[in-house]
Structure 1
């Protein structure tokens, strides 16, 4: 296989019908991109580092305009990196810090939270104002706030009981999960995010202004997996409560993107993702019938993704990686206390991600619509 063919085969490109029509007429143009989502998924997001550096360090700055960046968990951290004055350096710092995480054999939730808090301090410390005042980007961070048994659970047992109830509710329907969790959008007040304020699912959505004094707590809350980490119990300017990972509701950010499709300066969503599927919530990972766009019993609207271009690693690319998979949290268990081996494998994956960057850059320069699959 030639180098160019190998690069092209690294990337899967999917587009909704409206986005595909736009690509046929105009190709992929930075000036048309209005929104970038970032999915939750922990270490899987590392594979996008080189692509992110190109996207936010080169391609999007070539056509400056107001854009919303919205993310949960590692997706929120990636979008925060993009809002730095030097995004290329910020993504490098985030990748290095994330790969370098080390834990004892059986860490407590307090220990994991302490490591994550220190990682965030090293990542954004001194840059908080940059994230909230970027000249073009409007950062929106997703977290969840507990209700009922999860409003103020006591200890591991209380949290476990609350999430067991939430899991059973979600098995019945996402609408029932809304009785246990509510969506919190901690976002740049310069963008009212009207398309999210109009009711679009069963979850109550609260909006909190993003400020330099709460961005750290918001990023920590957005990534705090229950039982694995402690919840965040206070976010400045947010209502009192108990906050967890935004991916619990918005794992892959199955949001009503089509509401922004009619913007006069282009309303496309470019979604760099680590998989070719959009799974609504973290608890839906084990429910194969629940995928965005299938029009299932939870009425996840097909039209929501009409203006979305989803780019992700191809199956062949993933198979070429160490252990034939993306980095994930199970690697901590697989490698145990051999931290050097895990870090080395993750860094190898980050380096391989340059092929994803090159493939997207080539597509932007010379669009090959035969590569584009329906989303």
Structure 2
């Protein structure tokens, strides 16, 4: 039977695993991509990683995410991460929207979802003794920073950003800045030294900004409203962190230990606007210590409609909410097979069954 997962290893990760196997204590960073409903397919891996594998080897770990990835990493930092991840999967899958919907309506719905996810337990995320959560947002600048909630201005700013990015990813820096909301006990030194064209701001996660940072991290322009006035953050509208860091192409090689990356794709795209540009897929030194675990093509083909859950499903299924929810819940249940396969591989790594960057 074909494996439900694909494992891709960086050079340093491969050498270390060949020598010592894969030890949970070696894992220093866990990234979590933006991607909306696609992140649901990682629920099984999240439950196993944070409920068993990594839990058995506590150490300071950087959990860094954007959009649904930020929500997943927040769930991982609850005192009971299994309950947190199950709650997130249930809340996300059961979203329902009317046929005609506004950005304000969706934004309020997401705010309510995050309130239910946090369940009054935000202090657990902020002060987790080992899991240092990092939430990525984008601060709009230029035209994208002057939208003031007006849709035509948002569209103008976003189109200008997209046009610049089409020429060169570095041009996107004229419209956006990276903002990192981080655990107060972790100064995220590995991200402070510049590694790309984007200006960066660093803000301590606290009780008065956690939910706003999580909401902003998933605020897709023209779909949701930007979040402004976030406590401790630079002023202006904050948007979806995936605009700059869609698959989190970050300088992982700066850490001496390993990066374990459960991902819905077997490659890394730097920014959301780079999705249609295969020549921009990451394959550089940042992959050196990376372990990328993703659903295999055979596994995806076995899912409803032969694909991962996707944001377009909200439109494709229309008002047939129960059908969509049923298909998404089926995919979430199937994700347990990915976790079982990866657990077996971790117990006895077969390097011949992996790919390289």
1:243 pairs with one of 207, 227, 238: 238
Query: Deviations along 1:303-326, whole A, 9 cap, x unmatched?
Result: 111000000000010001000000
Equivalent residues of 2:242, 2:271 under 8 A apart: yes
Partner of 2:179 in structure 1?
184
Partner of 2:222 in structure 1?
227
Aligned length: 356
CA shift at 1:371, angstroms? 1.2
1:286 maps onto 2:276 in alignment: yes
Structure 1 unpaired stretches of 5+: 262-266, 294-301
2:108 pairs with one of 106, 114, 125: 114
Query: Deviations along 1:314-343, whole A, 9 cap, x unmatched?
Result: 001000100000000111111100100000
CA shift at 1:152, angstroms? 2.3
Query: Deviations along 1:207-240, whole A, 9 cap, x unmatched?
Result: 0110111100000000000000010012111121
Q: Matches of 2:5 and 2:20 in 1, distance apart?
A: 20
CA shift at 1:67, angstroms? 0.4
Equivalent residues of 2:34, 2:69 under 8 A apart: yes
Q: What does 1:88-107 correspond to in 2, within 5 Å?
A: 88-107=82-101
Partner of 2:15 in structure 1?
21
Partner of 1:299 in structure 2?
none
Q: What does 1:305-320 correspond to in 2, within 5 Å?
A: 305-320=287-302
Q: TM-score, normalised by structure 2?
A: 0.99
1:152 maps onto 2:146 in alignment: yes
Q: Matches of 1:276 and 1:106 in 2, distance apart?
A: 35
2:130 pairs with one of 118, 124, 136: 136
Partner of 1:372 in structure 2?
354
Q: TM-score, normalised by structure 1?
A: 0.94
CA shift at 1:125, angstroms? 2.8
Equivalent residues of 2:251, 2:286 under 8 A apart: yes
1:52 maps onto 2:46 in alignment: yes
Q: Matches of 1:159 and 1:333 in 2, distance apart?
A: 22
Q: Matches of 1:303 and 1:240 in 2, distance apart?
A: 34
Q: Matches of 2:199 and 2:235 in 1, distance apart?
A: 16
Query: Deviations along 1:168-221, whole A, 9 cap, x unmatched?
Result: 000011111000000000011211111100010000010011011110000000
Partner of 2:335 in structure 1?
353
Q: Matches of 1:201 and 1:138 in 2, distance apart?
A: 23
CA shift at 1:11, angstroms? 0.6
Determine helix, strand or coil for the equivalent of 1:224.
coil
Determine helix, strand or coil for the equivalent of 1:62.
coil
Q: Matches of 2:244 and 2:167 in 1, distance apart?
A: 15
Determine helix, strand or coil for the equivalent of 1:255.
coil
Q: Matches of 1:106 and 1:74 in 2, distance apart?
A: 23
Consecutive aligned runs of 4 or more in structure 1 exceeding 4 Å deviation: none
Determine helix, strand or coil for the equivalent of 2:138.
strand
Partner of 2:58 in structure 1?
64
Determine helix, strand or coil for the equivalent of 1:185.
strand
